[in-house]
Amino acid sequence: MNQIDLSNRVAVITGGAQGFGYSMAERFSDSNATVIIWDKDVDLMESLSLPKNTHTMKVDVTSYKNIEKSANDVLQKFHSIDILVNNAGIAGPSFKSWDYPIDEWQKVIDIDLSGVFYCSKVIVPHMIKANYGRIVNIASIAGKEGNPNAMPYSAAKAGVIALTKSLGKELSDKNISVNCVTPAAAKTKIFDQLSQEHIDYMLSKIPRGRFLKVDELASMVSWLVSEENSYTTAAVFDLSGGRATY
């Protein structure tokens, strides 16, 4: 494993109690960062054997006020937020677009897209003041290609890609990078929300013939959030096992 140096950096990872998020927390900890997991599942966070210098906070990314308070708490205790990974997300149930329940659409958009905006809106001004920051948004290959029977998820992740490009350009004159990753599916608890038909469809589209491993995503993101990434911004990094067509 290549060693990335995140010493003296404070990282916030949303949805960090499991899956991609927890794998990134472990990798950042191994790289000597101070890591704060933001998640709304308190029981899950309490069950974790946390890596060194890793802390947990109950945060609902659909609540702007909750994010404001949580960010201020982090700043008061740790004095900076150098790294933000917007990872929290849900897949939502599988329906044809015209049959998709309105309330389920709203849940997906609120967490997967609005949550990214809220966290960025709160934390970016502190990064501007420090003239340093690294933001990585976890999008999805679905945001590039659009998965059938997953229209809200696909639309939200496409929104995350566009948000990343806009924000990255706005901050391009500062030492702040904003990038996103478009992973193929990985076998995490998000699969519990999906039909077997949808899982089989996703696997059939991956030329490598297997799902992504969570530590493979953590490996890429650990470089993106490091000081070494001093030039790339407003970019999309593919992690789709060859599925992406652009």
Contacts of 64 (CB under 8 A, 6+ apart): 118, 121, 122
Of the listed 22, 100, 118, 153, which one is catalytic?
A: 153
Active site residue 201: no
Q: What is d(CA 119, CA 62) in angstroms, rounded to the nearest whole number? A: 9
Buried b / exposed e along 177-200 (16+ C-beta atoms within 10 A): bbbbbbbbbbebebbeebeeebee
Q: What is d(CA 110, CA 113) in angstroms, rounded to the nearest whole number? A: 6
Buried b / exposed e along 116-133 (16+ C-beta atoms within 10 A): bbbbbebbbebbeeeebb
Q: What is d(CA 210, CA 185) in angstroms, rounded to the nearest whole number? A: 9
Distances (CA, A) of 21 to 14, 25, 36, 136: 7, 6, 11, 12
What is residue 12's three-state secondary structure?
strand
**Nearest alpha-carbon partner for 241 in 214, 191, 207:** 207
Q: Which residues are tagged catalytic?
A: 153
